[in-house]
Amino acid sequence: MESLSDTLWDVVISGTGLQQSLLALALSRSGKKILHIDPNEFYGGPEAAFSIQEADAWVARVSASSDGGIFKSASFARPEEAITGLSASRGYSLALAPQFIHARSALLSQLVSSRAYRQVEFLAVGSFYIFKPSQDAGQKPSLTRIPSTREEVFSTTAVSAKAKRSLMKFLKFVLDYENSPHLETWQPFAEAPLVDLLQSSFKMDTELQTYIVTLTLSLDGKIRTKDGLAVIRRHLSSMGVYGPGFAAIYPKWGGLSEIAQVSCRAGAVGGAVYMLGTGIEETEIVTGEGEGEGEIKLRLTSGDTVKTRKLVRVDERPSGRVGISRVTAVIGSPLKSLFEATMEGAPRPAVSVIAFPAGSISTVAGKASEYPVYLSAHSSETGECPVGQSVVYLTTLTNPNAQEILNNALVGFISATSDAEPSPVLYRLQYEQLAGSDKSHIEGSVFNLPAPSASLSFDDTTLESVREAWAMVMGDDAGGAEYMVFEDREGAAEEDDGYE
């Protein structure tokens, strides 16, 4: 077998984040010589999932890092009174990217056509809730389910009869919004905030507007009408695709991390060489005329120097756009009320989403939250924590008060879901994720993928850059190949089982 340095690689893929891993999946039957490296000692990159011990070590690396990566201000805490409630470190799988996937997502179609779906177990994402703060000192805050189907609208007691009519009218409108006469209704508002359309054309009050905007998962709460309508239709049209009562699914064992690992497994089975703990120290483009022109020489942190025709990496340079702040908490309670089937025949959900509208949470100094906070609650069915516990992921746009707002939202959530004594927080991880480039770009033989999306649900535009990178690597062979469409391979199950 040729050594790393003696081989002319068709492509070196740097990083095992979701995008790079999907590229490995797409190339897994191509016969190309692929070297897939990652400076980390784990798979998944910014979409990784960690045990408690691994999360602690990750915080230490982020704190010590000066390479301009997308994560910063990372810390963890184990309240002393709750330490005894934590199970063994390996009993947890805390996701850096706890994104769920709508049933109508192109990602699921590609996982099916590539046969990779057989290696991933998916769970139902249940109800969406609105957090309502207490009105006086003697009351607890509460959670109100957002009705997003015809049946839920009719059965809910959270909205008035008049509001129900407005809501039903809007839900029917969204499902056919791209056709006349609905098209003429919203086009004048296309670039305006969605709430302008809701107020003007559907006479919705502020509370009902909040319900609708929450379904868009807009991080700033100011989503444009044309974007908001598309997101809500995807949510509504996804309802019931894989079963009654839910519109989205979540990969077990750590969300997108599991898809990244399955995709890398396919790359390895296809012959790709994997090297963790190996990054790129220096990149040199061979110039001039003659043999080797346009090739790339890479000096790796392992000490090897390799040659490749193409290099694919992620552009993680900060873009100046606002990033996100996150808190991940292990709760010493199963939170059973959030994981109940909403209708007969529906599966028990493993994930529920709670929105804290802008202004619903305040700092100690009385500063109200500028942006919405979203909380994704995960039961032990996700494999991310032991039975009897839950994991919650809180997200908001980064701002000077973000971490305090997130921690206060966590306190409010625990108050709203605890019957007597507040459920204990057993472990808390917090960090910021910077916003990188949101577009891919090519520099000669180097393809730069966009930075990971901060969206709360999987963003299908991510797949466009992966396909562009695939076409660049395939070159002339791309014309005769079907993208992400593979036949079953004899003995594939045995091969996959043998991959570590």
Domain count within the chain: 2
> Domain end: 209, 238, 267, which one?
238
- Residue 484 Rama label (left phi>0; alpha psi -120 to 50; beta): left
Residue type, 174: V
Indicate whether 176 and 214 sit together in one domain.
yes
Q: What is the mean pLDDT of the chain?
A: 92
Q: How many CA atoms lie within 13 A of 360 on its CB side?
A: 27
Q: Is the dihedral of CA 165, 171, 176, 179 positive or negative?
A: positive
Q: Is residue 295 in some structural domain?
A: yes
**Is 464 buried (19+), middle (13-18) or exposed (0-12) by CB count in 10 A?**
middle
Global pTM value = 0.93
Q: Alpha-carbon dihedral of residues 342, 346, 348, 352, nearest 10 degrees?
A: -50
Alpha helices in 18-51 (DSSP H): 18-26
- Position 491 scores a pLDDT of 57
Q: Is residue 336 in some structural domain?
A: no
Indicate whether 207 and 267 sit together in one domain.
no
Indicate whether 314 and 446 sit together in one domain.
yes
Indicate whether 460 and 493 sit together in one domain.
yes
- Alpha-carbon distance of 322 to 218, in angstroms, equals 13
**pLDDT by residue (tens digit) across 118-166?**
999 999 999 899 999 988 777 899 999 988 776 777 677 777 888 889 9
> Domain end: 203, 238, 273, which one?
238
- Position 68 scores a pLDDT of 58
- Residue 13 Rama label (left phi>0; alpha psi -120 to 50; beta): beta
Token pair belonging to 50: 């960690």
**DSSP-assigned letters across all residues of 136-157:** STTS--EEEEPP-SHHHHHH-S
Q: Domain span at residue 306?
A: 8-48+255-318+437-497
- Position 351 scores a pLDDT of 98
Indicate whether 276 and 306 sit together in one domain.
yes
Indicate whether 450 and 479 sit together in one domain.
yes
Q: Is residue 80 in some structural domain?
A: no
Indicate whether 161 and 217 sit together in one domain.
yes
- Alpha-carbon distance of 384 to 331, in angstroms, equals 12
Residue type, 213: V
Indicate whether 222 and 281 sit together in one domain.
no
Indicate whether 177 and 227 sit together in one domain.
yes
- Alpha-carbon distance of 393 to 382, in angstroms, equals 13
Q: Is residue 250 in some structural domain?
A: no
The DSSP code for 32 is -
- Position 497 scores a pLDDT of 39
Q: Give me the CATH number covering residue 298.
A: 3.50.50.60
The DSSP code for 102 is E
Q: Is residue 481 in some structural domain?
A: yes
- Position 66 scores a pLDDT of 73
Indicate whether 167 and 223 sit together in one domain.
yes
Give Rg (Cα) of the chain.
24
Q: How crowded is residue 442: how many other Cβ atoms within 10 Å of its Cβ?
A: 12
- Alpha-carbon distance of 171 to 179, in angstroms, equals 14
- Position 285 scores a pLDDT of 87
- Residue 292 Rama label (left phi>0; alpha psi -120 to 50; beta): left
Q: Is residue 179 in some structural domain?
A: yes
pLDDT under 50: residue ranges of the chain: 494-500
Q: Give me the CATH number covering residue 213.
A: 1.10.405.10
Indicate whether 298 and 168 sit together in one domain.
no
- Alpha-carbon distance of 477 to 154, in angstroms, equals 54
**pLDDT by residue (tens digit) across 435-476?**
888 899 999 999 999 999 889 999 999 999 999 999 999 999
Indicate whether 445 and 471 sit together in one domain.
yes
> Domain end: 191, 206, 238, which one?
238
Q: Is residue 398 in some structural domain?
A: no
Residues in Cβ contact with 243 at an 8 Å cutoff, skipping those fewer than 6 apart:
124, 345, 346, 347
- Alpha-carbon distance of 169 to 224, in angstroms, equals 20
Token pair belonging to 369: 């939250």
Q: Is residue 270 in some structural domain?
A: yes
